[in-house]
Amino acid sequence: MLKLRKKYDQRPEKTEVSEKPELADLFLEEECRFIQFAYGIVGQREIAEEMVQEMFSRLHEHWDEVDRPRPWAYKALRNLCISCLRDRKRKGNLENEYGELTDQENKEPDQELIRLETNGMVRLFISELTEKDQELIKLKYTEEVSYAEIARRTGLTISNVGYRLHHIIRGLSDSLKRTGMTGNRS
């Protein structure tokens, strides 16, 4: 598993091994995030929900073998979604949420698959970041908050916010490159 932990963060690493949640608790806490993650890859809510159910079924089967269930779940879910997309592509059935083939999908289904796979990988890598780093990413790129506001909310300096975000993004980019994905594909 790729680690994106930075040298500047000297806190001891949070280990899920000692704090392994119960499967039911994981389901209650993470189901919505897993569905959002899967939806980002497959683009259809119903299929995303099916993929999450399948992932939880597989996680249940392997529960005793899994030390870190969240990263395992994201990776398994990503793989299920990618397999689903490939199967649909082989069947010529890449449809939008209304059941219609879109012009983009008709013209370049391979590019759409690459874009969706890259999106899923980025989400997987973000899930492996420390909670602090995930919060910085969420504030900047989901809530679109300014560096000054992030600094105010987190207690960091503005320059430290910029420094950390720069290194987080660089780490994500390096991780994508190691998987064979590059920024010019999406």
Give the H or E element holding residue 144.
none
CB atoms within 10 A of CB 47: 19
**First-to-last C-alpha distance (Å) of the chain:** 24
What are the C-alpha distances in Å from 59 to residues 84, 123, 148, 157?
18, 19, 41, 41
Q: Is 95 left (phi over 0), alpha (psi -120 to 50) or beta?
A: beta
Structural domains of the chain in order of their starting residue, each with its CATH number: 20-110 (no CATH), 129-186 (1.10.10.10)
Q: Please give the angle made by the CA atoms of 59, 110 and 40, to the nearest 5 degrees.
A: 45
Give the pLDDT of the chain (186 residues) as one tens digit per residue. Answer: 344 444 334 444 444 444 788 888 888 888 888 888 888 888 888 888 899 999 999 988 988 898 888 889 888 998 898 888 888 776 664 444 444 444 444 445 567 677 777 777 787 788 888 889 989 988 888 888 899 999 999 999 999 998 998 999 888 888 877 776 654 443
